[in-house]
């Protein structure tokens, strides 16, 4: 969702946005194939996915939806219609939970309503979606390791250590410094 949100907000091409996103936020090794499948699938099918979302949302254009809700819906629609190996309940629950966590107060209900309508139509075989997922390759080795940060110069921060004195009175000793180098 973060990668799609990033690409959406920058309004750039899929490959360019994905490359820029992965320069600073690398997914874990185990998740990379699924990550690429979702991002490239949603990116390639975005016009068709957006048309479906608009069709099943009452009086809402995709462009007027919040970026978080819009991209959660895109992922969930892709999973519902193009990933038969993912159980429907998992897709729906994850989308609603992510919407509640990162979206607005009413995002969970909003996402649930649209996805439920799309799911019902798909169950009744009223719609389908076929997307040719492009092959996007990322040179993962040229990226910083997940969680790696550029080294920063540590600036000593003065702190006081609390020490119990006689009769339980707390005294402050200090200052202590957060780095090995003390001034």
Residues in Cβ contact with 47 at an 8 Å cutoff, skipping those fewer than 6 apart: none
Number of H helices, E strands in the chain: 6, 2
Collapsing DSSP states into helix, strand and coil, what is residue 166?
helix
> How confident is residue 27, by pLDDT bands cut at 50, 70 and 90?
confident
The 10s digit of each residue's pLDDT in 74-114 is: 999 999 999 999 999 999 999 999 999 999 999 999 999 99
Angle, in degrees to the nearest 10, between helices 67-82 and 32-56: 100
CATH of domain 2-142: 1.10.940.10
Nearest CA to 74 among 47, 104, 107? 47
Average confidence (pLDDT) over 47-59: 92
Q: How far is the C-alpha of 157 from the C-alpha of 79, rounded, in Å?
A: 48
End-to-end Cα, the chain, rounded Å = 45
The reported pLDDT for the residue numbered 112 is 94
Q: Model pTM? A: 0.74
The 10s digit of each residue's pLDDT in 117-169 is: 999 999 988 887 888 888 887 777 766 555 555 444 444 444 444 555 565 55
**Domain range summary for the chain, segments of one domain joined by +:** 2-142, 154-183
The reported pLDDT for the residue numbered 46 is 93
> How confident is residue 22, by pLDDT bands cut at 50, 70 and 90?
confident
Query: Who wins on pLDDT, 21 or 143?
Result: 21
Is residue 53 within 8 Å of 73, Cβ to Cβ? Answer: yes
């Amino acid at each position: 969702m973060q990668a799609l949100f990033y690409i959406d907000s920058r309004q750039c091409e899929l490959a360019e946005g994905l490359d820029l996103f992965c320069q600073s936020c690398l997914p874990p090794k185990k998740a990379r194939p699924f990550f690429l499948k979702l991002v490239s699938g949603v990116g390639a099918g975005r016009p068709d996915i957006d048309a479906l979302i608009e069709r099943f949302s009452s009086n809402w254009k995709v462009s007027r939806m919040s970026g978080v809700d819009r991209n959660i819906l895109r992922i969930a629609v892709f999973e519902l219609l193009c990933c038969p190996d993912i159980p429907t309940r998992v897709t729906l629950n994850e989308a609603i939970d992510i919407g509640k966590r990162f979206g607005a107060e009413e995002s969970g209900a909003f996402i649930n309503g649209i996805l439920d309508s799309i799911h019902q139509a798909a169950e009744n075989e009223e719609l389908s979606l076929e997307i040719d997922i492009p092959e996007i390759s990322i040179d993962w080795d040229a990226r910083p390791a997940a969680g790696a940060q550029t080294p920063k110069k540590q600036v000593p921060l003065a702190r006081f250590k609390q020490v119990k004195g006689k009769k339980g009175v707390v005294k402050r000793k200090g200052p202590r410094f957060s780095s090995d180098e003390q001034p």
